[in-house]
C-alpha cells in the first residue's frame, strides 16, 4: 500500500509539473518578467532558459548541404594552394572543357544528319529501278513471264556501278558575287512591223553587281561588264569602269536589234572584268542566259550568280547540250522520242556557226534496227526542233535495246560531221541511265531532260 501511494504521488507531481511548464510557455514575456518577484518566478525563468537552449541547439546544427559545401570549399582551397592556379583560372578551364564538349557534340550531330542525307540520296538513285521492278509485278502474267530475272539483275548491277562511279566528295562552289539585270523585248512593235526586222529590239539594262571578289592587291576591284548576244560576238557593249569597289552600281542600258524569229536562238552573255591599266584585264566571271528559257512577254528583272569563266581548253572541248523527251507504252510496245532543242553547239563551219540536225538510231546488241533524223537548221548553234519519232519495241525487248542520239553538222560539199552523241539504255551510265529508268518507271508519260553531248570516240569506247 505504501508503494502504491508513493507511485501515485510521483505521477501527480509529474503531471502538475508538465502542465505548469506548458502554462508558463504560453504566458507573455512581460508577465514572466513581472512575476520574477512572485513565488515560483525562479522556476519559470529556468524553464524559459531550457526551452531557448533546446531551440538554439536545433538551429545551430549544420544541414547536409552545408556540410557538403564546407567540404567543397576546403578541397578547393587545397587544390588552389597545391597548383598555384587562382580561382578564376579554374573557372576558365571548366568553361573551355565545356565548349570543347559542346563542339564535339555539334560535330557528331552534323555527321549523323549528313549520313542520313547521303542515305536518302542513294535511295533516290535506286528509286527508278524499284518502280520498274514493281511495274513488272503489276503486268499481266503473259507479259510478266517474258521478263527474265537476269534482265532485272543486270539493271540493278548497272545502277550500282553507276553509283560507285559517281561517288566522291562534292566540289566547293566558288562564290564570285551576283549581277542584277533587266530585259525588255518590244513585242508590240514586232506585231505592228513584223516584216521589218530592223525595228525589233531587245533592251538590256545592267543594274548592279554585289559581293565581287577582290582582284587587286588592296583587296578591291575596278569592275566593268561586257554584254553580247551569242553566238554573234562581234557586237559588244561595255559599261563604265567603277574604281575600287566590290559592289558597283551601273544602271546602263544597251539595245540589240534581234528579229522576232531568231530571239529564241540567242544567248545573252554578261562578262564581268577587272580593269587593269598596265596589263591584260582579268575576267572575274560570266553569266549566260539562253533567251529560250525565259518569258520575254513581260519585263524581266533578275539576280543571277556569277559563274567562273570557262577554261579555254574546256571551251574547245565542249560540244553542247541537247534536250529531248522519252515516252514508252508497254501494252502497245511503242517508244516515242521527241527532239526538242540543242544549245551551245560546237562551231563546225568557218564562219563560226553550224548546220545541225539530229540522227536517232535504235540498236540491239550492236546492230542498227531503225534510223531516223530531224530537219536541218541552218547557221545556228542553238537549234529548235520539236520533232517526234516513234519506234516499235516489244516489252520483252525494252531492256535489250539502246538508243543512240547523234547531233550532226550538215555539209553540202563534203561529208557530214558528228558534233556529239548520247547513248541511252539499260547498259548506259550516269544521267543517260537515270533518264532511261525514269521512262520505264513512268509508262505512258513523256520524260524530258537535258544531256551534255559526248565525243563520238568516247561513246565508241
Domain containing residue 330: CATH number: 2.60.40.150
Residue 35 lies in a domain: yes
Residues 292, 361: one domain? no
One domain, residues 287 and 321: no
Same domain as 331, residue 289: no
Same domain, 362 and 390: yes
Q: Determine the structural domain holding residue 301 and report its residue range.
A: 178-307
- Residue 295 covered by a domain: yes
Indicate the burial class of 412 (C-beta count within 10 angstroms; 0-12, 13-18, 19 or more): exposed
Number of C-beta neighbours around residue 189 at 10 A: 14
Identify whether 214 is part of a domain.
yes
Pairing of strands 178-185, 447-452: unpaired
> The dihedral of CA 275, 280, 285, 286: what is its sign?
positive
CA distance 154 to 19: 104
Residue 107 grid cell:
560535330
- What domain count does the chain have? 3
Is the distance from CB of 308 to CB of 176 less than 8 angstroms?
yes
pTM of the model: 0.41
Q: Give the position of cell 562534292.
A: 170
394 domain-assigned:
yes
| 325 and 442 belong to one structural domain | yes
CA distance 427 to 106: 43
**Are 295 and 342 in a shared domain?**
no
250, 281, 307: which is the final residue of a domain? 307
Q: Are residues 205 and 331 in the same domain?
A: no
Both 435 and 321 in one domain: the answer is yes
Query: Is the residue at 150 inside a domain?
Result: no
297 and 321 co-located in one domain: no
Supply the DSSP symbol for 308: P
Give the closest residue to 214 by CA, choosing from 280, 269, 282, 270. Answer: 282
Same domain for 197 and 277?
yes
Last residue of a domain, one of 251, 276, 307: 307
The answer to whether residue 162 sits within a structural domain is no
Do 442 and 330 share a structural domain? yes
Domain boundary pick from 40, 60, 80? 60
Per-residue model confidence as pLDDT tens for the chain (461 residues): 554 445 554 555 555 555 555 655 555 554 544 544 455 544 455 555 555 555 555 455 567 777 777 777 777 777 777 777 777 777 888 888 998 998 888 888 877 766 655 554 455 545 555 555 555 554 555 555 545 555 555 555 655 555 555 555 455 567 889 999 999 988 655 454 444 445 688 999 999 999 999 888 888 899 999 999 887 766 789 999 999 999 999 999 999 888 887 887 888 999 999 988 766 788 899 999 988 888 888 899 999 999 998 765 555 568 899 999 999 999 999 999 999 999 989 888 777 788 999 999 999 988 999 999 999 999 899 999 999 999 999 999 998 999 999 999 998 777 888 999 999 998 888 888 889 999 999 898 999 998 989 888 655 54
Q: Is residue 51 in a domain? A: yes
Amino acid at each position: 500500500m505504501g508503494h502504491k501511494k508513493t507511485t501515485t504521488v510521483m505521477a501527480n507531481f509529474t503531471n502538475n509539473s508538465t502542465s505548469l511548464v506548458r502554462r508558463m510557455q504560453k504566458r507573455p514575456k512581460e508577465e514572466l518578467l513581472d512575476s520574477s518577484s512572485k513565488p515560483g518566478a525562479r522556476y519559470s525563468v529556468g524553464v524559459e532558459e531550457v526551452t531557448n537552449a533546446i531551440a538554439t541547439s536545433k538551429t545551430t546544427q549544420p544541414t547536409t548541404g552545408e556540410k557538403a559545401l564546407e567540404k567543397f570549399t576546403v578541397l578547393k582551397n587545397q587544390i588552389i594552394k597545391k597548383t598555384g592556379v587562382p580561382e578564376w583560372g579554374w573557372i576558365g578551364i571548366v568553361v573551355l572543357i565545356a565548349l570543347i564538349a559542346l563542339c564535339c557534340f555539334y560535330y557528331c550531330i552534323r555527321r549523323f544528319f549528313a549520313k542520313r542525307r547521303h542515305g536518302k540520296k542513294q535511295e533516290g538513285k535506286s528509286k527508278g529501278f524499284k518502280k520498274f521492278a514493281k511495274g513488272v509485278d503489276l503486268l499481266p502474267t503473259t507479259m510478266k513471264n517474258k521478263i527474265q530475272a537476269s534482265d532485272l539483275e543486270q539493271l540493278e548491277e548497272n545502277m550500282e556501278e553507276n553509283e560507285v562511279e559517281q561517288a566522291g566528295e562534292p566540289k566547293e562552289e566558288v562564290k564570285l558575287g551576283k549581277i542584277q539585270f533587266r530585259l525588255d523585248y518590244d513585242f508590240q512593235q514586232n506585231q505592228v512591223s513584223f516584216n521589218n526586222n530592223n525595228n525589233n529590239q531587245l533592251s538590256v539594262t545592267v543594274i548592279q553587281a554585289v559581293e565581287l571578289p577582290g582582284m587587286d592587291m588592296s583587296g578591291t576591284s575596278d569592275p566593268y561588264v561586257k554584254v553580247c548576244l551569242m553566238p554573234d560576238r562581234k557586237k559588244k557593249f561595255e559599261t563604265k569602269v567603277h574604281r575600287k569597289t566590290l559592289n558597283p552600281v551601273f544602271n546602263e542600258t544597251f539595245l540589240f536589234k534581234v528579229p522576232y524569229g531568231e530571239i529564241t536562238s540567242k544567248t545573252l552573255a554578261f562578262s564581268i572584268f577587272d580593269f587593269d591599266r598596265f596589263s591584260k584585264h582579268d575576267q572575274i566571271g560570266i553569266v549566260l542566259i539562253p533567251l529560250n528559257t525565259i518569258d520575254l512577254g513581260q519585263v524581266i528583272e533578275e539576280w543571277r550568280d556569277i559563274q567562273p569563266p570557262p577554261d579555254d581548253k574546256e571551251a574547245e572541248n565542249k560540244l553542247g547540250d541537247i534536250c529531248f523527251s522519252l515516252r514508252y507504252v508497254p501494252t502497245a510496245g511503242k517508244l516515242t522520242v521527241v527532239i526538242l532543242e540543242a544549245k551551245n553547239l560546237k562551231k563546225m563551219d568557218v564562219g563560226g556557226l553550224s548546220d545541225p540536225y539530229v540522227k536517232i538510231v535504235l540498236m540491239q546488241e550492236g546492230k542498227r534496227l531503225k534510223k531516223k533524223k530531224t530537219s536541218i537548221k541552218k547557221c545556228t548553234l542553238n537549234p529548235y526542233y520539236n520533232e517526234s519519232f516513234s519506234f516499235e519495241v516489244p516489252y520483252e525487248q525494252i531492256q535489250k535495246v539502246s538508243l543512240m542520239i547523234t547531233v550532226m553538222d550538215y555539209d553540202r560539199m563534203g561529208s557530214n560531221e558528228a558534233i556529239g552523241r548520247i547513248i541511252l539504255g539499260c547498259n548506259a551510265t550516269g544521267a543517260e541511265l537515270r533518264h532511261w529508268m525514269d521512262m520505264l518507271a513512268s509508262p505512258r508519260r513523256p520524260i524530258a531532260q537535258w544531256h551534255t553531248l559526248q565525243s563520238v570516240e568516247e561513246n565508241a569506247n
